[in-house]
Amino acid sequence: MSKLIKAAGYKPLLDKMQTEKGIKLIKDFFQQNLATELRLRRVTAPLFVLQGLGINDDLNGVERAVTFPIKDLGDKKAEVVHSLAKWKRLTLAMLNVEPGYGIYTDMNAIRADEELDNLHSLYVDQWDWEAVITKEQRNLQFLKDIVSRIYSAILRTEYLACESYPQIKPLLPQKITFVHAEDLLQMYPDKTPKEREDLIAKKYGAVFIMGIGGKLSNAEKHDGRAPDYDDWSTVNEDGKLGLNGDILIWYPILNRAFELSSMGIRVDIDALNRQLELEGKLERKELYFHKKLLNGELPLSIGGGIGQSRLCMVLLHKAHIGEIQASIWPEEMRAECEKENMPLI
């Protein structure tokens, strides 16, 4: 059954050719602003990695990676990346990147288990970025500063889109609001995590929800996170768990919260040990990536992913991510989109 969210009275503000030009405008401008804001150098990234090294992102731990045998490696299995969260940290070490600098890349992934709707596609494209930090920067205030700088780059890109296409009017507030997942639970104790996100995003327009991955006071997680990249178990200076979070905005075209980025300060040795134990994944200590981290061979870092098609979707006021990217959709959804004025590529 199609999970299409219908946008009442929707009509695209740009035709297909204007949309393609707008996508290029936004991608070129934003990635340069992001690189300048966070002092990032562009690097080339893999589409797939060898299975069994612990390099691929496990997301919530249940999504299956797309795999295939490699003839010249004796049919060893490769798997298409889910994201580059751990690969980037290995690359920072390989390139000997200094604190205060980092890398970014175009991440292209296939997520075969994704539930398809207006925001979720089999094809995922992100700006994946990672920067080296010092031990003293592993704190909540530093995380908030990085989030604010990323949001500033988003605002500048929105301004460019509105200047280039006058029919597009700005949606985003000038500041992003920070809220911890535990405080959100206390504010809306009778709501689900997604309902809480909708309520807080609608209230403030743009929010960074912190502390995602660890259990809250109701013994439930706001959302899942793998145990081996974001640090969601360290008690921060506010006395709450987590040095990570998601950037969400309120998207009136779909009348819901809209996630643009997931990011965080990454695990150090203590956090990795703690989170592997909490999640019952201690066997991962024997994997290539985890051994290097536990041996102190990887730098402390902060990083995340920013959805390319999602950012273009928001800034061009589209109702379906399939208006931005080419992917595969159920025929039922394609037919519905045609009726609802959502011309899928």
Q: Which of 158, 246, 279, 340 is catalytic?
A: 246
Q: Give 157-166's long-range contacts (Cβ < 8 A, gap of 24+).
A: 157/26, 157/29, 157/30, 157/33, 157/311, 157/315, 158/315, 160/25, 160/26, 160/29, 161/22, 161/25, 161/26, 161/315, 161/316, 164/22, 164/25, 165/13, 165/14, 165/18, 165/22, 165/316
Q: Which of 117, 183, 238, 259 is catalytic?
A: 259
| Catalytic status, residue 259 | yes
Q: Which of 111, 138, 196, 225 is catalytic?
A: 111
Q: Which of 126, 137, 233, 325 is catalytic?
A: 126
| Catalytic status, residue 57 | yes
The answer to whether 91 and 292 are in contact (CB under 8 A) is no
Q: Which of 262, 275, 308, 309 is catalytic?
A: 262
| Catalytic status, residue 323 | no
| Catalytic status, residue 246 | yes
Taking CA atoms, 154 is separated from 144, 249, 313, 327, in Å, by 15, 11, 13, 25
| Catalytic status, residue 262 | yes
| Catalytic status, residue 111 | yes
Enumerate the active-site residues. 57, 111, 126, 246, 259, 262
